[in-house]
Amino acid sequence: MVILGIDPGLSITGYAAIQAESLGVGGFEVVEAGVFRFDRRRLISNRLEELQTDLTSLIERTRPACMCVESLFAHFGHPRTAIVMAHARGVILLTAAKFRLPLVEISPATVKKAVTGNGRATKAQMQYAVAAVLGLPSLPKPADVADAIAVAMCGSRRFAGAAAERGPASPRVKKR
């Protein structure tokens, strides 16, 4: 089953489609991962439209079973970042709904704790941890890619757990 992980942003959005064969220890393979880059000089509305187009194309290529997204995080020293990220998340959530994809939202601290053991891990620590878990020959770059892979890995476990709790019926985590 393919799980899509998204690290939202309006300058750079990280994405990762992983194959989750076995949801035990390891058991993940990266199908496709990268970033969508947006020109900061363009209007926000244009960048949001580009994000929606890129994400639609990614979903059509990878055909994920669910989408996992970092939940909104606001740092008291950078409130504008949360507002800008909320725009990108809105487009991401709407695109998931258009494809009727089950949605798993996970806080950044939860993802960091699950992958590194430290809920305040640095970007570099996340890159090293993701590379180690997947046995990658080099660090996923930029850091947004590692974050998206980590979101997909954590989200796949939640998605599988929710599906197991619901039984063989429709495995929806959050119906959109």
Tens digits of per-residue pLDDT, 98-109?
Answer: 999 999 999 999
pLDDT in tens, 43-89: 999 999 999 999 999 999 999 999 999 987 666 676 777 787 889 99
Share of the chain above pLDDT 90, in %: 73
The distance of Cα 95 from the centroid of its chain, to the nearest Å, equals 13
Fold exhibited by the domain 2-166: Nucleotidyltransferase; domain 5 (3.30.420)
> What pLDDT, in 10s, does the model give residues 139-166?
999 999 999 999 999 999 888 876 656 5
Closest CA to 146 of 121, 129, 165: 129
Which positions ≥6 away from 82 have C-beta within 8 Å?
Answer: 72, 73, 74, 75
State the catalytic residue, choosing from 50, 54, 105, 144.
144
Reported pTM: 0.87
Contact status, residue 25 vs residue 10, Cβ threshold 8 Å? no
Active site annotation includes 147: no
To the query of whether residue 105 is one of the catalytic residues in this protein, the response is no
Secondary structure (3-state) at 146? helix
CA distances from 110 to 106, 116, 150 (A): 7, 10, 10
Domain boundaries, the chain: 2-166
- Of the candidates 7, 50, 105, 147, the residue annotated as catalytic is 7
- Answer yes or no: 39 catalytic: no
Catalytic residue (one of 50, 54, 70, 147): 70
